[in-house]
Amino acid sequence: MIGPMRPVIIAGNWKMQTTPADAGELAATIARRTNEPEVVRVLCPPFVCLAAVRDALAAEPTGRDVAVGAQNVHHELAGAYTGEISAPMLVGLATWTIVGHSERRRDAGETDALINQKVWRARDAGLHVILCVGEQLAEREAGRAAQVVRAQVRGCLDGVKAPAGGDAASGDLRAPWLTIAYEPVWAIGTGRTARGVDAAEMAAAIRRTLGELDFEADGEGVPVLYGGSVTSATIDEFLAEPAIDGALVGGASLKPDEMAGIVARAALTARGRGAQPAS
């Protein structure tokens, strides 16, 4: 099922880059260079830059349709967790959040069970969630890629349902509350890339798992993004696959020229699929 239920989404993960002094101007520049209303655009700066990016986009006429996302969220609402940020703290600063990124799994030891709690917290706070899943190189070479990713989806979304009020509870009707980013860990910052057909096969495995978890319409309405070191030179292969609905962009999201190329290609895909412009 392709169409308004599955928007084309380009989300930029700035990781530990930019400062409050320069993040706002970068966000405004990207907004001007990517003014494509058919594409849902999300910028995810570091926590300390959220307010600067929010304010810069609000002041930029072409930035008002660009959403702000956090790169992570804590699994508790409040408490003695020095340095952490809870979902309620993000309300008013961001409308999206990434959870379960491979770097969080690797560096912070995040498990599927912990990520499941983060999904719940973000959902309950009315945030859009980009859930990241993906296999290691050894797992792919062993023929276990789909098995690993399906287990991650099940663990991270166990018991999770759409918020009361459905997607309307998120406040942004351009996209459903849940998006899944397939990020093959072996293709992030390594110089290696997956093929479009590989990503499409994994998207199908993800949606089969969503169906097993009783997601509405067997998960066909959940966008699946590709997230393995995407650039303007590689995005075509992935957007050519009907099962792939956009990209979670890393380093290239800090470069306005790259983002312009990626979003322009995404806009062609959105128009070809009959997506409705954002209101």
Please give the Cα distance from 138 to 37 (Å, whole number).
40
Find the radius of gyration of the CA atoms of the chain: 17
Three-point CA angle 160, 166, 172, nearest 5°:
110
Residue type, position 62, single letter: T
Q: Which residue type sits at 263?
A: V
First-to-last alpha carbon distance for the chain, in angstroms, is 22
Residue 74 annotated among the catalytic residues of the structure: no
Burial environment of residue 87 by CB neighbours within 10 A (0 to 12, 13 to 18, 19 or more): buried
Which member of 38, 183, 241, 258 is catalytic? 183
Question: Is there a catalytic annotation at residue 183?
Answer: yes
Among 101, 128, 135, 258, which one carries the catalytic annotation?
101
DSSP track, 220-277: TTS-EEE-SS--TTTHHHHHTSTT--EEEESGGGG-HHHHHHHHHHHHHHHHHHTPPP
Q: Where does the chain show beta strands of DSSP type E?
A: 8-13, 39-44, 66-70, 96-99, 128-133, 178-182, 224-226, 246-249
Which residues have a catalytic role annotated?
101, 183
